[in-house]
């Protein structure tokens, strides 16, 4: 949600792991309430659980579901993890909206001119620093040369990796994944150099300011304490 993605824009996660980001996006697009496909919830065992009220709320929420034309692409390198993503996409009931593929992100092809790339690359627990930096550098190269015209958001807990991407983010947010301090980095991808963009008269500064105000307002609304962690 922080990325500002909207369902009319194709979404790509070419390091999707078990599929959290694509599944969440599909649920948002079709207005499917989280947990819809769960058979039961722990709170149903509470002494004061009101079954009638729960049924009513559930029915009202299900009435809001829409058929979505959203295009979501999810790719994963590890075959075992990829099978888990298929299973998760199917059990969330969003298989019509999520196109899954298995392979290296460098080989991932798409036909979208304007897309949102939202990825959560490995942080490095299982990788040597050198390999991690190479992976992030390849990621930066790929974004620069194959995704011009798109927006990318990278969520990472690796400062070395973030540096190795080699692109300057126009938005940065400090977030926590459990106790681990992470960064959500936003990039407007374009061909050539930034200075050439100014020459083409594209008012990026104004749009960046608006984007920061939008995100700040959203965070303040959600959680005042959380917004203290933002820096732009």
Ligand X SMILES: C[S@@+](CC[C@H](N)C(=O)[O-])C[C@H]1O[C@@H](n2cnc3c(N)ncnc32)[C@H](O)[C@@H]1O
Q: Does 21 bind ligand X (CB under 6 A)?
A: yes
* By CB under 6 A, residue 76 contacts ligand X: yes
Shortest separation between residue 222's beta carbon and ligand X, angstroms = 21
Q: Which stretch binds ligand X (CB under 6 A): 9-17, 29-37, 56-64, 66-74?
A: 9-17
> Least Å distance between CB 14 and ligand X?
6
Cα(15)–Cα(182) distance, integer angstroms: 17
Q: Among 3, 120, 158, 170, indicate the residue that binds ligand X (CB under 6 A).
A: 120
Residue choice 18, 61, 101, 227 for contact with ligand X (CB under 6 A): 18
List binders of ligand X among 203-222 (CB under 6 A).
none
Rounded CA separation 76/78 (Å):
6
Tokens of 188: 């407007």
Q: Does residue 186 touch ligand X according to CB under 6 A?
A: no
Site track 136-175 with ligand X (rule: CB under 6 A), x = hit: ----------------------------------------
Residues whose CB is less than 8 angstroms from the CB of residue 125 and which lie 6 or more positions away in sequence, other chains included? none
* 91 near ligand X, judged by CB under 6 A: no
Instruction: State the nearest-atom distance from the C-beta of 80 to ligand X, in Å.
Output: 9
> Closest CB to ligand X among 7 and 19?
19
Among all residues, whose Cβ is closest to ligand X?
Answer: 17
Q: What is the dihedral of CA 67, 70, 76, 81, to 10 degrees?
A: -20
Cα separation values, 33 from 69, 93, 95, Å:
18, 12, 16
Give the nearer residue to ligand X in terms of CB position, either 21 or 230.
Answer: 21
Contacts 24+ apart (CB under 8 A), 224-229: 229/173, 229/174, 229/175, 229/176
122 interacts with ligand X by CB under 6 A: yes
* Sites of contact with ligand X (CB under 6 A): 14-21, 76-78, 81, 104-105, 120-122
């Amino acid at each position: 949600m922080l990325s500002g993605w909207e369902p009319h824009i194709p979404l790509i996660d070419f390091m999707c792991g078990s599929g959290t980001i694509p599944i969440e996006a599909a649920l948002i697009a079709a207005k499917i309430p989280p947990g819809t496909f769960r058979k039961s919830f722990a709170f149903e065992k509470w002494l004061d659980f009101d079954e009638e009220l729960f049924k009513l709320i559930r029915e009202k929420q299900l009435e809001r579901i829409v058929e979505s034309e959203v295009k979501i692409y999810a790719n994963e390198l590890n075959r075992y993890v990829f099978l888990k993503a298929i299973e998760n996409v199917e059990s969330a009931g969003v298989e019509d909206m999520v196109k899954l593929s298995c392979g290296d992100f460098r080989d991932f092809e798409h036909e979208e001119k304007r897309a949102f790339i939202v990825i959560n690359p490995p942080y490095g627990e299982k990788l040597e620093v050198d390999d991690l930096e190479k992976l992030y550098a390849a990621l930066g190269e790929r974004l620069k040369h194959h995704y011009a015209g798109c927006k990318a958001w990278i969520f990472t807990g690796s400062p070395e990796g973030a540096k190795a991407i080699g692109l300057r983010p126009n938005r940065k947010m400090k977030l926590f994944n459990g106790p681990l301090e992470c960064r959500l980095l936003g990039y407007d991808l374009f061909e050539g150099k930034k200075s050439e963009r100014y020459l083409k008269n594209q008012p990026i500064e104004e749009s960046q300011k608006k984007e920061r105000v939008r995100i700040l307002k959203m965070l303040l609304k959600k959680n005042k304490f959380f917004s203290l962690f933002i820096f732009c």
